Structure 1
Amino acid sequence: MKYSVITTFLLILCFAFSAVGQDLSRLKKLSKDLKRQSEDLVERTQKDLKKSEMRTQIEIESAFMANQLYSSTVLIGRLIKQKYHVSEIRYAGMVLSDMAKRFPLETKHAFEWKKSKDIVSEMSRELRGLNAGVIETENYEVDEEKILGKTFWSGMVDDDVQILVQGSMVTTKTITGQAKEKGLFSFTSALPQQSRIRVGVRKKSGRGKVHVVQQPDESNDYTAIIEVKDEEGGARAYSLEIYWYRR
């Protein structure tokens, strides 16, 4: 059941609409390597089932896992090839990493399973190094009843500022322009340190553009980043409502 949920989730991701404009060549190679490795495991585990007169539980589970791994590599390979959003590919990588924790490393095909796990680890490291880019804009809306919590931030922005939200703390980082006071903030509840949490933002006042450029996940210690760009010259006051909900 849990493996079918994993495959279904990855399939849903294939119908998302975001694109990634950066070099994914290393990730593509790792995806192809993992696909070849999973094909080999499918063949090996199927042979084990055919040879055995009485199939053991571990033989059945290994064959099932090998087929699930192969299906997942096909789907994540499609995400990478079609340049879906990094945040979506990264989450698919996290699902794959969770699957790798259950690889049967104590079987006679331990070497092949270990090699597959190493490739998954390499993919995770590669994904952590990618720039997430723009994920949400201030125009994106979600039903109010789905919102789990909010933080309200107000402050001055001159050109380009990033607002980092982690737990119940907010910090600001000036990218370009003159640094201003860090601003004021308040929470209705802390940003959860959980998977599948997505952050959005509403601009209550201010003239520039506001984007979520990093969604919180395990790889960034559950830190969301909101970027405010004011390119019209001079500092202006901004008021933001940052909210989160479960995907």
Structure 2
Amino acid sequence: MRKYAVLVALVAVILVFLAPFALVLLNAVKTPQDYASVGPLALPTHVSFEGVKAFWIRADFGRTLVNSLVISGAVAVLGVGFSLLNAYALGVGRIRGRRWFLAAFLVANLVPQESLIYPLYHIATELDLYDSQLAVIIIFTAIQSAFGTFLLSSVLAEFPPELLDAAAMDGAGRLRTLVRVVAPVSRPTIAVLFTFFFIWTWNELFIPLIFLVSNSNQTVPLALALLQGEHDLDATATSASALLGILPAVLFFLVFQRTLTRGVTAGAVK
């Protein structure tokens, strides 16, 4: 009986979390007239994608979608790469001053982004990188790498020494050991970092708001925020914007859900 009670409670929690998404989807496929007549909670009299189409054209959503994919994908790949290299040196190589380096990365994770804006803006303007996607990629790569290095260092510090000794006996150098031994064994954790880095970068608004002023460089969250500030959108177009804004990240999460689950549970078993 207790098992069924827990199951019912879990289903209820899932429904509560899915209710806002269902409401957004419900209103995104209504016409403004339909929304005005039946309200936000009723089913649409007929499915219409006018709101989605209007928002897509008004926000040039195809371009902003590509921008977000490029920036988030580049940050995820570069952030994981730098995190792995740093953590390999700190966790496996055990370089001198390892604790101080880890403390520095920990402090870097605690620094608020708002305090970094002015020096980052000054550096970007001096290097002629302001209002470019490259500047945002570099900034987010550094921010995500600080967290990734701190996390991976603790994981690689517990790396089985038998595998490292076997690789050394086979004549593998440090780089080959990293590529052929450490990276494959740490793949679940690396996959988790890649997923988190992608989603975190995708959802970022503050730094793109400062560094991406041209319409051609805007990301999805930035385009959504600026469009709703400049134009008077009806309820269906607003719902369509919310749906299109979260749908890519949700799809990415669903695609990598199994990899993410394996990565989270990998550390539970020695």
Query: Which range, TM-score by smaller chain?
Result: under 0.3
Structure 2-normalised TM-score?
0.23
Q: Which has the higher helix share?
A: 2
Relative CO higher for 1 or 2, CA cutoff 8 Å, sep ≥ 6? 2
Structure 1-normalised TM-score?
0.25
Larger radius of gyration: 2
